[in-house]
Amino acid sequence: MTLKAETKPGLTAWQQSVLMLEAHKPYVAEMANAAEGFAHAWWSGRPWPAKLILAGPSGTGKTHVARKLHHWCCRTAFSRYESGLWGAHVPSCRFYHWPRLVDGFKSFAYDVLDDLCRDEMVVLDDAGSEHDPSKMAADKFCQIIGQREKRFTIVTTNISPSDWGTKWDVRVADRLLRNSVVVDLTGAESYQARS
Number of structural domains found in the chain: 1
Q: What is the pLDDT of residue 173?
A: 93
Q: Which residues, 6+ apart, have CB-to-CB distance to 142 below 8 Å?
A: 168, 169, 171, 172, 175
Q: Is residue 74 part of a domain?
A: yes
Segment 86-91 long-range contacts (CB within 8 Å, at least 24 positions apart): 86/45, 86/120, 91/120, 91/121
CATH number at residue 153: 3.40.50.300
Specify if 145 maps to a domain. Answer: yes
The CA R_g of the chain, rounded to the nearest whole Å, is 17
Type of residue numbered 97: H
- How many CB atoms lie under 10 A from the CB of residue 131? 10
Find all residues with CB under 8 Å of 58, minimum gap 6, and list them: 158, 190
pLDDT tens, the chain, 195 aa long: 223 333 345 788 888 888 887 766 778 888 999 999 999 888 887 766 889 999 999 988 999 999 999 999 988 887 776 766 666 677 889 999 999 999 988 888 888 888 888 898 999 999 999 988 888 899 999 999 999 988 999 999 999 999 999 999 899 999 999 989 999 998 888 766 654
Torsions phi, psi of 123, nearest 5? -110, 130
Tell me if 41 is assigned to some domain: yes
Is residue 146 assigned to a domain?
yes
Q: Are 165 and 138 in contact (CB under 8 A)?
A: no
Does residue 7 form part of some domain?
Answer: no
The model carries a pTM of: 0.87
Q: Where in the sequence is the domain holding 92, given as residue range(s)?
A: 16-184
